[in-house]
Each structure stands twice: as C-alpha cells, then as structure tokens.
Amino acid sequence: MKSVNALQLRQSLGKVIRELEEDGAPVRVCRGRKPAAVLVSLKDYRERFVDRDADDRRRAVVTKLKATRVGRSDQTTTLDLLRGLRGQS
C-alpha cells in the first residue's frame, strides 16, 4: 500500500487521485508519521460500502414483506408496508 503524508497530499492531490484511479491500490495518508486515513477508489468504495448497505436494506424489505404474507391480523397490505418504509402515509 502506497503511503503519503498530509503535506504531500495537499501539494499533489490531483496526482494521488490519478494514481489511485489507474492502479486502484489504496493510499494510506499519514499525519505525524502515524496512519490517519486511507483513500480508496470509487469502485472499491461502492463494492465495500454502498452495495452492501443497499443489499441490507433490500433484505430488510423482503423480510417485512414475507411477514405480511404469512397472515397478520392487522390487515396491513404490502402497499401500506412499502409506503411506511418510504416515509409516506
């Protein structure tokens, strides 16, 4: 993993981003010789965080929809459930 210090990052942010886009390897940002952050490519970010969060939300919706099919006595429809999840009344 490539490392840069905060000063180098400020002085050559464009170059660091270009290299990150080209090879996709994370870049460790150090402050005072201690690691402070890591820059990752947009592709890695989406794979590790965005897509995972969306999958978790989809699973939660499917679980709630299945629960309504089982036969709840409160007469909640799947449409009512989806509206509630979206924040609509």
Indicate whether 21 and 51 sit together in one domain.
no
| Residue numbers of the domain that contains 65 | 43-86
Residue 49 sits in the same domain as residue 67: yes
pLDDT at 16: 95
Distance, in Å, from the CA atom of 89 to the CA atom of 81, rounded to the nearest integer, reads 10
In a shared domain, residues 50 and 80:
yes
DSSP 12: S
Do 47 and 80 fall into the same domain?
yes
57 and 78 together in one domain: yes
Divide the 89 residues of the chain into consecutive groups of 10 and give the mean pLDDT of each group.
93 94 94 93 84 80 73 64 70
Residues 48 and 35 both lie in one domain: no
Indicate whether 74 and 49 sit together in one domain: yes
64 in the same domain as 33: no
My answer on whether 33 and 57 are in the same domain is no
pLDDT of residue 72: 53
> Is residue 29 within 8 Å of 8, Cβ to Cβ?
no
pLDDT of residue 54: 78
Q: What is the pTM of this model?
A: 0.56
When divided into structural domains, the chain yields a total of 2
